[in-house]
């Protein structure tokens, strides 16, 4: 690739000027001096380096800095750190150089970003889960580290076309798994949306293209709808002498995809593909009053849906988001969501963290990002368990909807929807949670597992004699509570664990077995323990006795030989079947190898499905659909065990598929369905069952079918039968 260095250098200089021009924060002369020094250092350090696309590498840190400056709106220190985020890892400059040139604050953030990149691999853990956990630990140092990392991931997602497909899928899966939820939790909604949409572009390109095309084609009709809505309310808003703006916001490609997936409907049946925003200007003290005035004006013209009112002005979300959301029956008798927010609220929704602190005032009560970061820090400090389990627990709370409850003194607390009384106790303080003896909700004693609802007032009763038990883990959903409970239980086990390890070592020695990593791993699998700690603990308390250990010893020496014999028989049988029958071929990896595999029970793939292989520890290769509920977790946490897979032929093997039909019962409907299936020589009915209740029927049909294309054509035909409302593949 031939590059004109003069043109390239001119473009680098232009990018720098634009960086200063678009900054959300007002930059002082000292700020500009700092950014210039960081820019010059980045240009010098990355000189000669190029990305896979061929462009100069320095364009990447400049682009990340632009996202940090404009879309997120952070300060000069953050912009400088973004420019230098890869310098220590990839160039001759050291952390000491950064501190000497730009000061301790910038160096601290760069150090946090470098720590994330330099993680040692360990074959016994999921590297990616451990990566996520250590990345979250940097929040203890400075939240700006994680925000710049999100900006870095966004730019990488925007420029991924030059990467091989398997890397695109891996990076996109990681993004959906942790980076998008983190962006959402910090309040970076626009970035969260872009991360999700770009991830879908690489994980399910056909679905992404189809939805995007549909949205692009509906732009004009959306504008016309907003105009017709505005016509009704603008006159009344002007009478109140309000400064306002009415505009539309399309539902994101990813959110449309999720709705299609969860409800099993086509895009044509999604009616809330966009929302209307009314953004108004007023004094801070009048924001709430004006919001409800606008609500009154809108509901005078359009009928509201009372179950869809969301008041995040009286009780903001825990990431600082404020707005009033209502759903009304708008023009053309269509339900439309209307979001009412002041310009300050809108800025917080757009910029998240930066705007939240820009508008924070004095002693203002804050249930926003500060309190969330404090709770998160305690979760991280208390967590000592398995990395994958930790990330799964943590991730559950990132997207969770919220409820608002009260302490006995009337203080407002936010918790994830579904949180229990025991979750509340731990949200107050870890020591209160650990000593919980009982809980009163609205002045009535309730079980610790009682699920709370908004408006509840909760009083925690404590006792010094109480300690957390394993059963408590069934009573909580928040990562904070789970982490503290596990940590407390582990502290109690530690002494027994050490003694148990020594005892097990002596017992195994008598059975002529050495206690090492390999033996420990085999014993965990053999006795079905979750960890080595459980193994040692159960040895100490006598649950694991001499009789069981002798049983393990008798299997120990033969296990490896038996494993290989079983594997050889399995592969031989597979190859024999392959040569006798002309079955559909599933091939794996770049070399398109034919390997022994079995289908995962969680998604029941058939030929034609988009699939991938997952190398398990004991059961060989398991084949999953790309839309499998477990796909995201596997691809994010165990990318090194993922095998790309592809169907390359479709001939005579038959696979089982189950269809669930629902709708309004019609005379002759079952006969019509069976006739339609029987007319297709490539499909057999194995089992059929229809049940009717109050004119509503449910039908389950088990079929033998060669591949997905044949099944899809059948579903299309069945959908045309009068009375059938929905068809779902089980």
Sorted by where each starts, the structural domains of the chain and their CATH numbers stand as 5-162 (1.10.3210.10), 213-358 (3.30.460.10), 581-647 (no CATH), 655-729 (3.30.70.260)
120: left (phi over 0), alpha (psi -120 to 50) or beta: beta
pLDDT at 635: 81
332, 346, 339, 353: which is closest to 229 by C-alpha?
A: 332
State the Cα angle at 274 between 272 and 277, rounded to 5°: 125
Q: Which residues pair with 402 in a beta bridge?
A: 416
pLDDT at 138: 60
Let me know: does 63 contact 156? Beta carbons within 8 Å: no
pLDDT at 253: 92
pLDDT at 129: 61
pLDDT at 13: 92
CA distances to 323, 334, 407 from 327, in Å: 13, 10, 31
pLDDT at 720: 84
In which residue ranges of the chain is pLDDT below 70? 1-3, 116-141, 271, 318-319, 352-401, 492-493, 495, 557-584, 591, 649-654, 681
Q: What values do phi and psi take at 133, rounded to 5?
A: -65, -45
pLDDT at 84: 94
pLDDT at 209: 93
Exactly one of 11, 18, 55, 89 is catalytic; name it: 89
Exactly one of 8, 11, 18, 90 is catalytic; name it: 90
415: left (phi over 0), alpha (psi -120 to 50) or beta: beta
pLDDT at 221: 84
Assess whether 89 carries a catalytic annotation: yes
Assess whether 474 carries a catalytic annotation: no
pLDDT at 40: 94
DSSP 285: G
> pTM for this one?
0.64
Task: Decide: helix, strand or coil at residue 242.
Answer: coil
Distance CA 492, CA 496 (A): 8
Task: Decide: helix, strand or coil at residue 507.
Answer: helix
Q: Which residues pair with 278 in a beta bridge?
A: 246, 340
Residues with Cβ within 8 Å of residue 310, at least 6 apart in sequence: 323, 324, 325, 326
Counting other chains too, the contacts that 24-29 makes at CB distance below 8 Å and 24 or more residues apart are 24/69, 24/70, 24/72, 24/73, 24/74, 24/351, 24/354, 25/69, 25/73, 25/74, 25/75, 25/76, 25/354, 27/76, 28/76
Distance CA 263, CA 187 (A): 27
pLDDT at 529: 82
pLDDT at 574: 45
87, 15, 6: which is closest to 46 by C-alpha?
A: 87
């Amino acid at each position: 690739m031939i590059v004109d260095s003069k043109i390239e250098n001119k473009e680098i200089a232009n990018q720098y000027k634009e960086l200063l021009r678009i900054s959300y924060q007002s930059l002082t002369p000292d700020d500009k001096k700092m950014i210039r020094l960081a820019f010059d250092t980045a240009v010098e350090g990355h000189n000669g380096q190029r990305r896979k696309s061929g462009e100069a590498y320095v364009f990447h840190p400049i682009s990340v800095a632009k996202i940090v400056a404009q879309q997120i709106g952070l300060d000069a220190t953050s912009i400088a750190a973004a420019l230098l985020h890869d310098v220590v890892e990839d160039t001759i400059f050291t952390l000491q150089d950064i501190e000497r040139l730009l000061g301790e604050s910038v160096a601290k953030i760069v150090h946090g970003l470098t720590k994330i990149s330099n993680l040692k691999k360990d074959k016994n853990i999921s590297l990616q889960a451990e990566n996520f956990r250590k990345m979250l630990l940097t929040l203890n140092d400075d939240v700006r580290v994680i925000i710049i990392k999100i900006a870095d991931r966004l730019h990488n997602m925007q420029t991924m076309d030059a990467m091989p497909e398997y890397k695109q899928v891996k990076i996109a899966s990681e993004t959906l798994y942790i980076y998008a939820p983190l962006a959402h939790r910090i309040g970076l909604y626009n970035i969260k949306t872009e991360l999700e949409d770009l991830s879908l572009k690489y994980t399910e390109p056909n679905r992404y293209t189809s939805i995007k095309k549909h949205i692009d084609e509906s732009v004009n009709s959306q504008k016309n709808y907003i105009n017709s809505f505005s016509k009704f309310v603008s006159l009344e808003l002007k009478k109140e002498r309000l400064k306002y703006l009415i505009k539309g916001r399309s539902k994101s490609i990813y959110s449309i995809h999720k709705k299609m997936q969860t409800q099993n409907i086509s895009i044509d049946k999604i009616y809330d593909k966009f929302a209307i925003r009314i953004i108004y200007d007023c004094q801070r003290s009048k924001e709430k009053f004006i919001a409800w005035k606008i609500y009154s004006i809108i509901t005078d013209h359009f009928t509201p849906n009372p179950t869809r009112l969301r008041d995040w002005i009286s009780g903001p979300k825990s990431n600082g988001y404020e707005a009033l959301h209502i759903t009304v029956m708008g023009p053309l008798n269509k339900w439309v969501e209307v979001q009412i927010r002041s310009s300050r609220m809108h800025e917080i929704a757009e910029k998240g963290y930066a705007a939240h602190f820009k508008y924070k005032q004095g002693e203002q009560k804050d249930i926003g990002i500060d309190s969330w970061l404090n709770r998160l820090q305690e979760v991280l400090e208390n967590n000592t368990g398995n990395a994958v389990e930790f990330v799964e627990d943590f991730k559950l709370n990132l997207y969770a909807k919220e409820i608002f409850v009260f302490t006995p003194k009337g203080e407002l607390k936010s918790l994830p929807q579904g949180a229990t009384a025991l979750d509340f106790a731990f949200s107050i303080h870890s020591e209160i949670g650990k000593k919980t003896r009982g809980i009163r909700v609205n002045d009535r004693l309730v079980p610790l597992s009682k699920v709370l609802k908004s408006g509840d007032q909760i009083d925690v009763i404590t006792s010094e004699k109480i300690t957390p038990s394993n059963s408590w883990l069934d009573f909580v959903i928040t990562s904070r509570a789970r982490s503290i409970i596990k940590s407390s239980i582990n502290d109690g086990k530690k002494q027994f664990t050490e003694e148990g390890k020594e005892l097990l070592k002596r017992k195994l020695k008598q059975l002529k077995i050495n206690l090492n990593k390999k033996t420990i791993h085999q014993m965990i699998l053999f006795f079905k323990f979750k960890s080595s700690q459980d193994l040692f603990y159960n040895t100490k308390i006598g649950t694991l006795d001499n009789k069981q250990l002798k049983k393990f010893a008798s299997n120990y020496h033969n296990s490896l030989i038996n494993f290989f014999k079983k594997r050889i028989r399995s592969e031989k049988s597979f190859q024999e079947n392959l040569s006798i029958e002309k079955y559909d071929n599933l091939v794996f990896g770049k070399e398109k190898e034919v390997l022994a595999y079995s289908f995962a029970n969680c998604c029941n793939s058939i030929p034609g499905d988009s699939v991938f292989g997952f190398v398990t520890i004991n059961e060989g290769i398991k084949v999953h659909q790309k839309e499998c509920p477990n796909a995201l977790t596997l691809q994010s946490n165990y990318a090194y065990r993922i095998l790309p897979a592809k169907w390359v032929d479709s001939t005579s093997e038959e696979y089982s598929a189950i269809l669930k039909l629902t709708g309004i019962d019609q005379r002759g409907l079952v006969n019509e369905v069976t006739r339609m299936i029987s007319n297709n020589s490539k499909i057999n009915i194995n089992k059929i069952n229809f049940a009717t209740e109050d004119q509503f029927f449910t039908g389950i049909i088990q079929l033998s079918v060669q591949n997905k294309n044949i099944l899809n054509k059948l579903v299309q035909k069945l959908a045309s039968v009068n009375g059938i409302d929905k068809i779902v593949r089980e």
